[in-house]
Chain A
Amino acid sequence: MYSRTYKTAVAAPPLVWVAVFLLAPYAFLFCYSFWTVSQQAIVHHWNFGNYRQLLDNSMYPTVLFRSMRIAGSVTVLSLLLSFPLAYYLSFHSRRKELLYQLVIIPLWVSYLVRAYAWKTILGSDGVLNTLLQYVGVTQHPVEFLLYSPFAVVLTLTHIYTPFTFLPIYASMEHIPRNFVEAAQDLGAGPIRTFWTVIFPLSLPGALAGATFAFVLSLGDFLAPLLIGGPSGIMISNVVVSLFGAAYNWPLGAAISASLLLLVLALLFLVERIEKRLSFS
């Protein structure tokens, strides 16, 4: 057994860190969301005006739903990409380590660089448009590629797929191989084995991966800023502008707080489901 002093000494620094740099800012944010702005100054007058404004002004729900739609699309797409990849790597690849590293390497590259890369690919004199015109598919550059929700979904899927892949791969690696052998032994071919044994046993990983992709995409503001255009604006961009040019911190704080509650509710729900899905 370790002494009380030792345990306190170990636990104190991270607890202080979390309190000062995480909990305190959140508390401030929460307070701000109940204050108001008048004549370019923040007035400490407690009221629900900001939250009422969120519901009354149709722009905010619209942007929020768009953000959720984009995050949902990113989640579905990265699941569709990650599942076969993880399955192949975990169960059928002879060069597991190498391929695993290849999936991980993009994570070492700056987010900004990857987002910019898509700008070069999708832009009107970008790689894709040049190719399409060269091949003769179109005469003029295709405009919807860049500055659209589509571009945001594509970029975010590219950026967050490793985050979905990793937990799925990890949960597949944890499936004892004799489960697969048992299924085959009982007459199940590869496809049946996948759907009846591997898929259900990797669902907890898939759920964790989906949560990463959804939550990270929902709060993203760089990809929509760089390649989203006006039609690709997401909720975080609104928050950024409210804290910046618009100088309406209280309203920005109210949106942030709402988003935070939404995400926390989602995480809570996911944890409940995950408990049901795990067996061992």
Chain B
Amino acid sequence: MISSAQPAAESSTAATGGVEPLLSIRSIAKRFGSTTVLRDVSLDVAPGELLTILGESGSGKTTLLRLIAGFEQPDGGEIHMTGERLDQLPPYRRRVNTVFQHYALFPHLSVFENVAYGLRVRKVARAEIPNRVEQALALVKMTEFAGRAPAQLSGGQQQRIALARALVNQPKLLLLDEPLSALDANLRRQMQLELKSLQREVGISFVFVTHDQEEAMALSDRIALLRSGQLEQVAVPREIYNRPATAYTARFIGQTNLLRGLIENGVAQCGTVQWRCEAPDGPATFSVRPENIRLCDSTDAASRDSMRFRAVIRNQTFGGPTDLLELACPDGRALLVRIASRGNLAGECEFEFTAGDAILVKD
């Protein structure tokens, strides 16, 4: 079997598919003092797209968002929105709205006045304001809270008001800075679903910053993975998971096994197993997801395109529908394997994976 091990090239413009991008970030650089926070970041956002900027803390994801919002000025590069230069405008002249990490609802204004704030500032006709506010509150299912003060609301409710306050202005682009990070796990999952359907409903492009890769996968049309100020990979969730371009991506998004091996004359060799791999000769790293390694029954006939190896089960962790096995191979390698839950396993067993599951990644 021949693995299609070609690390996906930078596809920062992939999803735009020829459509004029809504937002175009071109070679943005940002430094704070002597620290370079962002280096040569280029990224397009398509109309109606939900793009996630994913990265560890300190990767520059929030800074990138603040550059789009206008709270920071870039040290290099340009940002354009619908053909208009954005990065030279002050934040209050950008047709962009932000949902802040801690919501930043004005404590001295009622929920109604918080939502109406942007409309009043933009001189929307006085008679129109109650209607617009009501619509926005209905969108986030918070109509009956209009008269409350923000301090009287729970975190999740404040979150919704922050969304309504931003969306009521009908921005072209909505920026969300880790908006769910302050919520507990259950509420968070529920809000993820609601956010996604809300985004479909309003059709506004969302740029969503998060450090949570599961959240990114659940929500996004595309994920832009930032690593120390540079884009590591930009792709749709399935591609970034199934075809990680680099070892970093493979490890950051989901769990993986990184196998270091050698390619010689179109054959990859890694420990006791080898398979055909059309890539230049030399040392190589492969990513094999734990769920792509299977536990073989003794009765299984070895299929021709699968590589089999024996390993000792060191540990078994029950995870509900699946079990995570920690293996020790004879050559000392440690591997993770995820299998459908079954009784306790022990001792040496036989495992297999196919060449197609070993993704060649850049180090």
Contact = CB atoms under 8 A, between A and B. Distances in A.
Contacts of B108: 200-201, 279
Contacts of B169: 186-187
B151 interface: yes
A192 B121 contact: yes
Nearest to B149: A279
Given A187-B92, A187-B122, A187-B169, A181 B117 contact: no
A186 B104 contact: no
B71 interface: yes
A280 B105 CA distance: 11
B106 interface: yes
Interface in B153-175: 165-166, 169
Contacts of B98: 181-182, 185
Interface string A179-208: 101111111110010001100110000000
A280 B121 CA distance: 24
Contacts, number: 65
A176 interface: yes
Interface of A is mostly: helix
Nearest to B150: A279
B118 interface: yes
Nearest to B121: A187
A183 B109 CA distance: 12
A186 B102 contact: no
B92 A176 contact: no
Q: Which residue among B100, B104, B169 has the maximum number of chain A CB atoms within 10 Å of its CB?
A: B104
Contacts of B151: 279-280
Contacts of B93: 187
Contacts of B97: 185-186
B91 interface: yes
Given A187-B118, A189-B92, A280 B107 contact: yes
Contacts of B107: 201, 279-280
Given A200-B108, A279-B107, A188 B121 contact: yes
A176 B108 CA distance: 13
A197 B118 CA distance: 13
Contact of B104 (A181, A200, A201, A279): A181
Interface centre among B71, B91, B96, B102 (most CB of A within 10 A): B91
A57 interface: no
A3 interface: no
Given A178-B100, A201-B107, A201-B108, A186 B90 contact: no
A189 B70 CA distance: 13
A73 to B, nearest CB: 29
A189 B93 CA distance: 9
Interface centre among A178, A179, A182, A279 (most CB of B within 10 A): A182
A182 B100 contact: yes
Given A186-B165, A186-B169, A187-B118, A179 B92 contact: no
B69 interface: yes
Contacts of A186: 92, 97, 117-118, 121, 165-166, 169
B65 to A, nearest CB: 11
Contacts of B70: 184
A181 B106 contact: no
Contact of B91 (A176, A181, A196, A200): A181
B92 A196 contact: no
Contacts of B121: 186-188, 192
Contacts of A181: 69, 71, 91, 98, 100, 104
Nearest to A187: B121
Interface string A31-63: 000000000000000000000000000000000
B118 A179 contact: no
A173 to B, nearest CB: 16
Task: Give the interface centre of B105, B107, B118, B149 by most chain A CB atoms within 10 Å.
Answer: B107
Contacts of A201: 107-108
A201 B107 CA distance: 8
A279 B152 CA distance: 10
Nearest to B115: A186
Contact of A184 (B91, B102, B122, B149): B91
Contacts of B105: 182
A178 B165 contact: no
Given A181-B100, A279-B151, A188 B92 contact: yes
A219 to B, nearest CB: 33
Interface of A: 176, 178-179, 181-189, 192, 196-197, 200-201, 279-280
Closest 5 CB pairs of A and B: A186-B118, A279-B107, A182-B104, A178-B104, A184-B91
6 contacts: A181-B98, A181-B100, A187-B93, A188-B92, A201-B108, A280-B107
